[in-house]
Amino acid sequence: MNRWNVEICDVTLRDGEQTPGVTFTCEEKMEIAGMLDGTGIEVIEAGFPAVSASEKAAVRAICEMGLDARICALSRAKQEDIDAALDCGVDMIGVFMPTSDLHISLKYGRPREEVLARTMEMVAYAHDHGVQVRFGAEDASRSDPGFLFESYRQAVAHGADLVTFADTVGCMTPIEMVAVVQEYAPSVGVPLCIHCHDDMGCATANTVTAAASGAFQLHTTVNGIGERAGNAALEEVLVLLALKGGINRYDLSGLHALSELVTQASGLSIARNKAIVGDHAFAHESGIHIAAILRDPEAYEYVRPALVGCDRTFILGKHTGRHAVRHVASSLGYDLEEDEITWVLHQVKARSEAKCAVTPEVLQEILCKAICADRTGGGA
């Protein structure tokens, strides 16, 4: 297995907070930043200091935490934005401009060469102040390739240490991403960053494909939160890097706790069947599956739950078999006879088919009745 050469820039505290209705307090941002740092994330994009005084204060507070991660702030190509970021004490500033004709026309109404020239002045300005500079091409996936390459060339000439290809509207597929990275990564002269949105459900796939194709800095958010359909999910990208990219330097054991923290702070619940951190990511109901897992978990678990700080669970329902009933009952302290297992299984299936959830409380009730001589009232 070839080891991919990458680093993670997590943008939960900036792009993730741009999710409609989401606002993190300074304390929440600091707690999330601390957990990201503990995971081993190399770059944390702490925010957009020019947005407000409180945003600037939060970015400064994160810079003062003494984290191992480099702290980045986002900036428009305006001196006041860059000055605000510099005043926070960041290690890196991401200076962005739209490079598609559509965005340039809508936002500036001026020739693209004029917009580019002004942006390059600000790239040089940030570079001259001794921080790492990342030039971001917004809507790169819909930009004229010639102009995009010229933008990258000029950014590097003006002091950019990295350049970003942003699939701002999530319109790319993994096949297209391979072509993009193979075209730009070897030729721009500095590391290529990838920023993917999930409008068509390809953000994680595009990000990992980019990593395998030669991209260096990968942008992610916890739980995949972000504008519209969100961004590439940190937990998915990290597990894929470990299992497919040969990268084992990240501590994945806290991913479930990190997911729960962001869920609570953002107020955004995630789907139960969400990969890696969803409630059902490591849950099993099928009798055939459970019987196999009890013998060897690898039968139906490519990702081991303990790897990401989760536990395996068996859910009793319509598809449950005797092995699951025996195992779950035993884990709760019940040593059932064969006829008792049969009766419990009947109750579970009947309730499930009637769309009555077999909650832990309901299961306890069924198990108690199973070991009693009088089972009246135990029907579905």
Closest CA to 73 of 48, 50, 105, 39: 48
pLDDT digit string (tens) for 247-293?
999 999 999 999 999 999 999 999 999 999 998 899 877 777 777 87
Three-class secondary structure of residue 195 per DSSP? strand
User: Domains in the chain and their CATH numbers?
Assistant: 7-266 (3.20.20.70), 283-370 (1.10.238)
* Residue in this structure with the two tokens 């990593």, named with its chain if needed: 211
How much of the chain, in percent, has pLDDT values that exceed 70?
96
* pLDDT score at 345: 79
**Confidence check: pLDDT of 138 > 80:** yes
How much of the chain, in percent, has pLDDT values that exceed 90?
75
What the block records as the tokens of 314 is: 């068996």
Please enumerate in sequence order all residues whose Cβ is within 8 A of that of 320, keeping only pairs 6 or more positions apart, or say none: 285, 286, 287, 290, 345, 348, 349, 352
- What separation in angstroms does the CA of 187 have from each of 148, 153, 192? 12, 9, 10
pLDDT classification of 321: cutoffs 50, 70, 90: confident
Structural contact between residues 216 and 193, judged by C-beta atoms closer than 8 angstroms: yes
* pLDDT score at 311: 87
For 101, other C-beta atoms within 10 Å of its C-beta total 14
To the question of pTM greater than 0.75 for the whole model, the response is yes
* pLDDT score at 359: 67
**Confidence check: pLDDT of 126 > 50:** yes
Least confident of 157-161, 234-238, 330-334: 330-334
What the block records as the tokens of 348 is: 């579970």
**Rounded (10°) CA dihedral 159, 164, 169, 170:** 180
For the chain, percent helix, then strand, then coil, each to nearest 5?
Answer: 50, 15, 35
* pLDDT score at 323: 77
DSSP result, 342-375? HHHHHHHHHHHHTT----HHHHHHHHHHHTSS--
* pLDDT score at 380: 42
Query: What value does the mean pLDDT take over residues 228-241?
Result: 98
113 — phi, psi (to 5°)?
A: -65, -35
**Confidence check: pLDDT of 375 > 60:** no
Query: What value does the mean pLDDT take over residues 222-243?
Result: 97
pLDDT digit string (tens) for 277-288?
998 899 877 777
